[in-house]
Amino acid sequence: MKLLKVSNIAWIAVFVALLSAKSLSAQSTIVHDPVMIRENSTYYLFATGLGIDVLSSADMINWTKEKPVFESGPQWAIDAVPGFKGHIWAPDISYHNGQYYLYYSVSAFGKNTSCIGVATNKTLDPDDPGFKWVDHGKVIQSFPGQTEWNAIDPNLVVDRDGTPYLFFGSFWDGLKRVKMKHDLLSVDEDANAIPTVASRAKSSDETNTSSVDENAADAGVNAIEAPFVFQKGDYYYFFASIDFCCRGVKSSYKMIVGRSKSLTGKFVDKDGENMAQGGGSIVLQGDENWHGVGHNGVVSFDGKDYLVFHGYDAKDGGHPKLLIREITWDANLWPVVEL
The residues annotated with a catalytic role in the active site are 33, 225
C-beta separation of 132 from 124 below 8 A = no
Query: Could you write out the three-class secondary structure of 127-171?
Result: CCCCCCCEEEEEEEEECCCCCCCCCCCCEEEECCCCCEEEEECEC
Give the span between the Cα atoms of 176 and 194, in whole angstroms. 7
24: region left, alpha or beta (phi > 0 left; psi from -120 to 50 alpha) = beta
* Phi and psi torsions of 7, nearest 5°: -65, -15
First to last CA, the chain: 21
Q: In what order do the strands lie in the sheet with 335-336?
A: 290-301, 304-313, 320-329, 335-336
Cα atoms found within 13 Å of the Cα of residue 105, Cβ hemisphere only: 31
